[in-house]
Amino acid sequence: MVLQRAPERAILWGYASVINDRVIVLMNGIQVAETTVVQDSNNKGVWKVKLPAESKPGPFEINISSSEGSFSLSDVMFGDVWLCSGQSNMDFRMSQVNNSAAEIDDSVAYRDVRMLFSKLVQSNTTVDDVQVNTPWIYPIEGVVDKFSALCFMFGRNLQKHLGYPIGLIESSWGGTRIEVWSSPTAINSCSGTSPKPVKFPQIPADNGVLWNSMIHPYLSMTIKGAIWYQGESNSGRFDLYKCQFPAMINDWRQQFHSASDGETNSQFPFGFVQLAPYRNLSDSTALAGLRWSQSTNIGYVPNVNMPNTFMAVAIDLPDVNSPYGSVHPRYKQDIAARLALGARNVAYGEHNVVFQGPFPTSYQTDHAQNLLTITFDNGTSHLQVNSNDGFEVCCKGQNCNAWNVWTPSTINSHTDSTVSIDVSGCHGAQVISLRYLWRESPCKLKDCPLYSSHTMLPVPPFELKDLIHSTSIIG
């Protein structure tokens, strides 16, 4: 297995029958911790110890003993532990990605990436004991094939860069809403309700049932951070997701911090994937709205509502011919690479690492020329413009909440850090709002209109509102 490395201290916990018994922990034959068995609220004997902060990767042998006997954990490594959760795109297997055979062959070389498969189990009450399908294991053919592709490739990228072990806990379930992964505290902090879910066999739908059984049991574990790929099942009420998502993140952080006796950071880094393209429906903007809600309608992270978070933009990775359905793109390598860039910047302090494409920071309207000029990254970005489309405007007198009032607008000209949009489609009326890539599937593969010419990261979707009254800064 992998336990969390220094400066944090890893925690071990378990059960025993003899109350007040001594539990002694040895690492490589040296005693490092001792505790007493206590009785919990369920009249069970439980124990918990903190190991010394360990920066050496290992391997170690850990022996735990009491009057009842002893057992050992062998080949224990110390590194960073990441929790991977969400719905089917997180559940998407290594055997399903593009070039899966080559990816699986490559994976077995990464013995310092260790995986834990959570068992698919739901519960109406909180569960304390971890339930797993496959205990901790390093990647071997026939096992890694069934592990989350995004989770493993993310961990593989980090291990390759950091040079020390990475532990990965997969705890995901296809088709699930954010509500099933949220505690009552998180759910109650957001007013409003999602549409009543259509219940499918074997897909949990009731609030909190996976929080109880697939997140809560891990709370005592010291972790480095979490990554998340979910949201498709909440696209029917994307305005509520704007509250639900940061509420869940904040709650997970506080719960892990408390249960680990302060070892897991109360602001641990949290990465997520902005939803990828889906169907080719020109009149459907539900996924576009959900993408915007994922960043609390700001368009980038970290932001004031979502500190210490990072986002992988996937808007240019459609896979309409995916044999697993177009909602499941096979390009998990690209998404994992972008997530790893975000982790390096946010979780590991490499602030020179860019993980998101250019973003608009100001705009200026030229009414005489019918142009709206947008400046990206305060004029410091380096844009690559592949085409002149992707933009739409809503004009004064129109209801901008209706999808069919938006007028396509083309790029008239551009510089390294600006694009000028032709807004003559408003026929002399003032432009109220402008948006970019506001469709389920707005681009061809790796061919959106705007990228960074330095990093080749796409400009993420965005929406500018109230252009009549505001003047410059977005977000």
pLDDT band at 200 (very low <50, low <70, confident <90, very high): confident
pLDDT at 403: 79
Fold of 77-346: Rossmann fold (3.40.50)
Coil, strand or helix at 238: helix
Higher pLDDT, 222 or 279: 222
Q: Residue 359: which of 440, 308, 417 has the closest Cα?
A: 417
* pLDDT tens, residue by residue, 324-344: 999 999 999 999 999 999 999
Query: Average of pLDDT values for 19-28?
Result: 97
Query: Average of pLDDT values for 206-228?
Result: 97
Residue 458 is given by DSSP the state B
pLDDT band at 286 (very low <50, low <70, confident <90, very high): confident
Spatial distance between the Cα atoms of 382 and 451, rounded to a whole number of angstroms: 8
Judging by DSSP bridges, how do beta strands 38-39 and 45-50 pair with one another?
antiparallel
- Cβ burial of 97 (10 Å; 0-12, 13-18, 19+) is buried
Q: One-letter amino acid identity for 377?
A: D
For residue 192, pLDDT over 80 is answered with no
Q: Which tokens in the block code for residue 127?
A: 């569960």
Q: Say if residues 440 and 277 touch (Cβ distance below 8 Å).
A: yes
Backbone angles phi, psi at 116, to 5 degrees: -130, 125
pLDDT band at 473 (very low <50, low <70, confident <90, very high): very low
∠ Cα 322 83 122 (to 5°): 80
For residue 474, pLDDT over 60 is answered with no
54-68, 167-181, 279-293, 449-463: which range is least confident on average? 279-293
pLDDT at 358: 97
∠ Cα 290 298 196 (to 5°): 25
Distance of CA 71 to the CA centre of its chain: 36
pLDDT band at 195 (very low <50, low <70, confident <90, very high): low
* pLDDT tens, residue by residue, 24-48: 999 999 999 999 999 988 889 999 9
Neighbours of 413 (CB within 10 A): 13
Where are the domains positioned within the chain?
77-346, 360-464
